[in-house]
Amino acid sequence: MIPEPKGREIMALLEKNITVTMHITIGTRNLQKYVSRTSVVFVSISFIVLMIISLAWLVFYYIQRFRYANTRDHNQRRLGDAAKKAISKLQVRTIRKGDKETEWGFDNCAVCIEDYKPNDVVRILPYICKRTRRLETVSNSSLVKLVMLSCIEVQPKTIELNELLL
């Protein structure tokens, strides 16, 4: 391999029609002139350090993700158990033929907005304000979710929120 200036010198001679004799042999590439050993070591060490930092970050990220998912699942399980317990404490009643709920003009179900029919099994919802038809004593979203899970009869009755969640 010859450097560019030497190649240009040979080309200039050939353009002037001067005979050029060359002896070509198999040689080795000498990269020592272009790349220093310290540069290679520095780049290699930098790459290894970068890979270690990336791996440490990845491990930390997945540990945090696992902990967050585990905590979320635990909280959902706990809230689900509390909701089941609260639903079990609500009063259950079966509507019979001739009850005031089956009469024309009586309020509909607060959840599914259908008329009551005989043999419907209903749960009695805690106190509901007659003016706004909204729950007044329910401030916990888990209880609101449990109300939506079952068809509930509207009856003016007060149940303490603490009793439902215990």
pLDDT per residue over 39-85, tens digit each?
A: 889 999 999 999 999 999 999 999 999 999 999 999 999 998 988 88
Judge contact between 108 and 115, C-beta under 8 A.
Answer: yes
Residue 150 pLDDT greater than 80, yes or no: no
Q: Does position 101 have pLDDT exceeding 70, yes or no? A: yes
Going by C-alpha positions, the residue among 126, 147, 164, 141 that lies closest to residue 76 is: 141
| Comparison of pLDDT for 130 and 133, the residue scoring more | 130
Distance between CA atoms of residues 147 and 110, nearest Å: 9
**By the 8 A CB rule, do 50 and 43 touch?**
no
Cα(161)–Cα(158) distance, integer angstroms: 9
Gap between the Cα atoms of 22 and 36, Å rounded: 31
What's the pLDDT band for 16 if we cut at 50, 70, 90?
very high
